[in-house]
A and B are shown apart, each in its own frame.
Chain A
Amino acid sequence: MDASPQTSAETQPKSGPIGPDDVIVAEDVVKIYDGRRVLDGVNFRVKRGEILVIMGGSGCGKSTLLRQLIGLQQPEQGRIWIDGSEITRLTEEEFINVRRRFGVLFQSGALFNSMTVGDNVALPIREHYPNQPEMTVDIMVKMKLSLVGMTQFSHLKPAEISGGMKKRAALARALALDPKLLFCDEPTAGLDPTRVTEFDELTLKLCKDLGVTAVVVTHDMTSAFRIGTRMILLNKGKVWAVGTPAEIRAHPDPGVKRFINGDPESEVRQDADSYLQDILGES
């Protein structure tokens, strides 16, 4: 499936000053791992209060794109603005101030295994507001845990709770400092359908009521179309399609249609010979 990334890239303004509403702007982001271009010129803009959904096949570079956005890695080329500051140029100290407005949910949850769930959520609060009395911290932790339905598990260590519970606890931690920007890497993977709906409603509520801007990586199409106000579809490190949910649904590329409908990628093989040639052939 040979997509033409040019068409999608052109729909986005290439450069120029960032608009007053633009919270996240990525311009020609290129990331190279061992000579492999995992991200190959990614462009997009996200406005305040929007929910950007990043989709794409497994291994197409979604988590890598997220790592560039939150400044854990420096892209080889390209520039990224977050909330008005160009994070690809900031020093470590300047970046800390930007990071205070972040909440990040990692694909693996990344809870601190040496601490209880409650302490995990309390950690960012204690560190950034060292003078808060313990009582206040306690109440804030309870509030965040109740958002994700984890209040009664706050005394357990991460090793003692299930995968989905870890995700929810990690989400509570990401929300601990009431972030203005929320980055989630596959937040709904491993959750049951009720929890998925709850997560979607929580995200929508945060964005509508509190003006949070969210970037969500997901494989779940129902969830994606429910929360997304802007979507980008990655393929082999390039932007394959970008736009509002309606635009994505009506995208002319048959590959995009196939992806969002979840249809198999290739036609049924005709004979054993061509199948063998396919898997053994020049790769």
Chain B
Amino acid sequence: MPITLIRFFQHVTSWCMLFSNMLYWAFLSPFHGKKMRVNDLFRQMTLIGVRSISIVFLVMFFMGLVLAMQSAETLQKVGGLAMVGGLVAVAVMREIGPMLTAIVLAGRCGAAITAELGTMRVAEELDAMETMGLNPVHFLIVPRVLAMVIMAPCLTILGVFMAMFGGWLISVFCLDQDAFLYWRKAFELLALKDVYSGMIKSVVFATLVSNIACYFGFIVDGGAEGVGRSTTQSVVTSIVMIIASDCVLTAFFYFI
């Protein structure tokens, strides 16, 4: 048990060191004449953002259907079927949208990042990079982290609309509600705080997922097997951290 604990704290400290290193290379080094690698950033934004749109749409669409049906049952009892739109909108914007998008990104892109960086570590590519005087954090981590942090809120917003569309389908075609009323209730109930708290969550989740993925890629040890092990660890840690930080953030927004 003590050994597990020690190893856990070792991971936490080295993760924090990598994270601060990342912050330096992302935000301070451009002022010291180290140019941001814009081409790499756009490439990663395509890989992480654009290529994830379809799966985020799919997942969020089904989530909208489910939410509408689940809430309809209860709302029917109090005669509030018209509120389905508002409920779906608020639930998805504040909570389910950011979280589900982050989980999709962890499974789809986080795993890919860990596997890619881990394979580079095993093939001595990261060492080669270092001996050429190129900083792997600057070269590999910063574009990936920034790409995910930029793309996650965009994906979340798109996904929220998709979920609301799913809810609308149920509302109109199964619950016989007015097609226009659904949208009016939805935007009536959606407050500005819901939007910004959802966006802040999304940014925090993306920061965690991308940094965890890069960290587990960098520490790979022991060949192809090590890459597999690290990839699993990366996804599991990301998902746990998403939900844990969600709890903290929700409490924060609830009490302020």
Contacts and interface: CB of A to CB of B under 8 A. Distances in A.
Interface residues of A, number: 21
Contacts of A112: 120, 125, 128-129
A96 B128 contact: no
Contacts of A130: 35
Interface residues of B, number: 14
Interface in B35-72: 35
B133 interface: yes
Contact of A99 (B35, B119, B123, B132): B132
A83 B122 CA distance: 29
A106 interface: yes
Contacts of B120: 112-113
A216 to B, nearest CB: 16
A124 B129 CA distance: 9
A29 B100 CA distance: 52
Mostly, the B contact residues are helix
A99 B128 contact: no
B133 A100 contact: yes
B191 interface: no
B123 A72 contact: no
A102 interface: yes
A72 B132 CA distance: 11
Contact of B123 (A67, A100, A110): A110
Contacts of A273: none
B131 A70 contact: yes
B125 A110 contact: yes
Given A110-B123, A110-B124, A113-B125, A72 B133 contact: no
B131 A108 contact: no
A72 B125 contact: no
A70 B130 CA distance: 10
Interface string A86-122: 0000000000100110101011101111000000000
B134 interface: yes
Contacts of A70: 131
Interface string B189-206: 000000000000000000
8 contacts: A96-B133, A99-B131, A100-B133, A112-B120, A113-B123, A123-B134, A127-B133, A130-B35
Interface of A: 67, 70-72, 96, 99-100, 102, 104, 106-108, 110-113, 123-124, 127-128, 130
